[in-house]
Amino acid sequence: MSANFCTECGTHFDPEQHFCPNCGHPRTGDGDATAPTASTPPPAPAPPPPMAPAPPPAAAAPGGGNRPWWIALGVLGVLTVIGVIAAVLLWPGDDEAGASEVFLIAEDAAGPDAFTEDIPVENPTTTSTTTTTAATTTSGATAAIPARAGGSPGLYGGTRSVARCDPAQVADFLADNPDKAQAWVDALNADPTLTWSGGSRVAVSEIDDYLDELTPVTLTTDTRVTNHGYENGRPTTIPAVLQAGTAVLVDAWGTPRVKCNCGNPLTAATPITSGRTYRGTPWATWEPTRVTVIQQTTVEIDVYVLVNLSGDGYIDRPVGTTGDLDTESDYDPSAGSSTTTTAPPTTAAPTTEAPAEPSGDFCTLAARWVDDYYVWLQSATPESVPDSSGLIAQLDDMAAVAPNDLIADQLRQAQDWLRDPLALDAPELPDLEAYLNDPCGIVTDRDLGGN
């Protein structure tokens, strides 16, 4: 027995126990111990331990190499739904936000750890109400946050032939500050969803080319992002809500990538499952239930359809332009037309755009499925699992109302695994995990009982 786990079956035991309460195997190193007799039944199994940063090697089930690691963890006590622990790459820093802290950043504020405050930003023709109240810290439950696809018409705004910020100014600033340039690309490259014509990473020498592909727009809703600042030569990570009216640069997949007035790189919002705490000075229109999360599109966007901030209607702004090629849009909200897109090189054909709002039916079905999954998991052992046909059928229902094709595909991967979890490798399903956590607000990392 190694540490507090049986080397034979992986069962947790109390330090004073000399034999495994499950299989009777003697503790490693107890050479003088003898196995308990039939007249001396082993103690009742100890409750499973809480999840550790990494499971000890001895906790793996027998034959471990081919068995999904997360089934072993599930038998021990704690598991992330579908076996995924979302990878959140956080950079350390003195002002690093706590796991559930979200900073409120007003549209005209640089925010904490700004890369610079010297990049001019034009005021929008029309602005949101910017009256603020005293700084505050508020807490709230993990309620669902509406999600919108990054290519949704009207998600972003603009003024025809006017760009509130110039990507070239950001490039010039970084060229003059090579230490900050390195931290800037490090922050972007930590985001696994980063995509551009140069691949999935940006080198310092490629900053100009990368910024040339971004498009200046204005947020029309209070928007959750991960804001990266600069301190002591390194990027910091700051979960944030940017106020509607904030000028940003977005990439060709609808994701905000740069906060214009400070040059800070932005990455996708990361899920928060333990309740959010908002820090900072709220604006007059601040309301936690009105925050939006931007979902990266599955197809490359050609033209953004921006709501006209200086008049009626909409504006077509080609991706990678700064207002000089703007035209009046013929987008008709009542007709349901969408932003123009093209398939990326790795996609055989364009996929259907995700709906603007998360499906209440999907989140309801998902919450029920997660509950049923944990009930099912509690009866699983390293050698056998209970019938999973009911769970598989539920995943069919979820796939039918999935918010996008990517999540539907990952639901099918989960079905394949559930058909034979002892033989197949556990799939990695980060997009499904992220959607269940936020916007659905489902806590998937659960304790199965005990301490």
Q: Copy the structure tokens of residue 102.
A: 């979200």
Half-sphere exposure of 231 (CA within 13 A, CB side): 15
Condensed to tens digits (0 to 9), the pLDDT of residues 226-240 reads 999 999 999 999 999
- Contact indicator for 219, 244 with CB cutoff of 8 Å: yes
Query: What's the pLDDT score for residue 160?
Result: 92
Query: What's the pLDDT score for residue 275?
Result: 67
Mean pLDDT for the chain overall: 74
Grade residue 427 by pLDDT with cuts at 50, 70 and 90: confident
Domain spans of the chain, in order of start: 1-76, 101-342, 360-447
Residue with tokens 């994701």: 255
Query: What's the pLDDT score for residue 15?
Result: 62
Residue 112 in 3-state DSSP?
Answer: coil
Q: Among the ranges 32-46, 267-281, 320-334, 395-409, which has the highest mean pLDDT value?
A: 320-334
Grade residue 422 by pLDDT with cuts at 50, 70 and 90: confident
Least-confidence region, from 145-149, 177-181, 206-210, 411-415: 145-149
Condensed to tens digits (0 to 9), the pLDDT of residues 66-116 reads 333 234 333 333 333 333 322 222 223 333 444 578 999 999 999 999 999
Which of residues 434 and 256 earns the better pLDDT score? 256
Residue with tokens 């997660």: 370
- Contact indicator for 268, 225 with CB cutoff of 8 Å: yes
Closest CA to 304 of 293, 318, 294, 292: 318
- Contact indicator for 241, 104 with CB cutoff of 8 Å: yes
What average pLDDT does range 108-126 have in this prediction?
A: 85
Which of residues 69 and 439 earns the better pLDDT score? 439
Query: What's the pLDDT score for residue 62?
Result: 33
- How far is residue 279's CA from residue 102's CA, in Å, rounded to a whole number? 6
Q: What percent of the chain has pLDDT over 70?
A: 64
Closest CA to 251 of 194, 171, 324: 194
Our separate counts of H helices and E strands in the chain read: 8, 18
CA distances from 331 to 158, 306, 307, 315 (A): 15, 10, 10, 9
The model's pTM: 0.56
> Which residues make beta-bridge pairs with 26?
19
Grade residue 360 by pLDDT with cuts at 50, 70 and 90: low
CA distances from 91 to 98, 232, 274 (A): 12, 12, 20
Total number of residues shown for the chain: 451
Backbone angles phi, psi at 410, to 5 degrees: -70, -30
